[in-house]
Amino acid sequence: MSGIEYYSGFEVVLAAMEVEKNGHRFYSTMAQKATSELARELFSWLAQDEVEHLRRLKALEASFKESALFDGVEELLPYLRRFADQEIFPSAERLEAVLQQPESERAAMDLAIAAEDRFAAYFAKAAEHARDPDGRAAFAWLAGEERRHAALLRERQARLAKR
């Protein structure tokens, strides 16, 4: 997450979109592989919520386009995808390894909680550094959404532990 202070609002939105795509992949995979109804329902809901976040970010993208540091967005996307893969949600390979463990749902929830906490911190920092008031408000909203996801995951994880 280092270096966010050098990102334009446009770059933050693009990076966030890549992370949301990874989040959707992660939660969709977990929903398919979950063995308990509680976990399957939670992961399905989170996958859909990531789609809603992506929709909101897509709407923000146009308003931040003028803050792009350069025209070659195609050159930036591979970096942003690597950022999204390495910094927030675990890679598909790491998720597969976790799914092979006993207690895989709890381990996946641990990964998801850590990812949501990191993404909330990312958006909170983006909100602090956004120059545009609308961007600040949007990033603050997204930070709150990610904190809400983490809290929901913790609550469901505690319920699973009681079983």
Mean pLDDT of the chain: 78
User: Going by C-beta distance under 8 Å and a sequence separation of 6 or more, which residues neighbour residue 121?
Assistant: 1, 143
CA–CA dist 138, 122 (Å, integer):
13
| Predicted pLDDT at 77 | 54
Contacts of residues 5-9 at CB distance under 8 Å and 24 or more positions apart, as own/partner, are 5/125, 5/129, 7/126, 7/129, 8/64, 8/67, 8/68, 8/69, 9/64, 9/67, 9/126, 9/130, 9/131, 9/132, 9/135
| Domains of the chain by residue range | 4-161
The CATH class of 4-161 is: mainly alpha
Cα 150 from Cα 163, distance rounded (Å): 20
Its pTM stands at 0.75
d(CA 116, CA 90): 11
Dihedral sign for Cα 151, 114, 121, 32, please: negative
What is the radius of gyration, based on Cα positions, of the chain?
16
Q: What is the pLDDT of residues 72-121, one digit of tens each?
A: 555 545 545 555 555 566 666 777 777 777 777 888 888 889 989 988 98
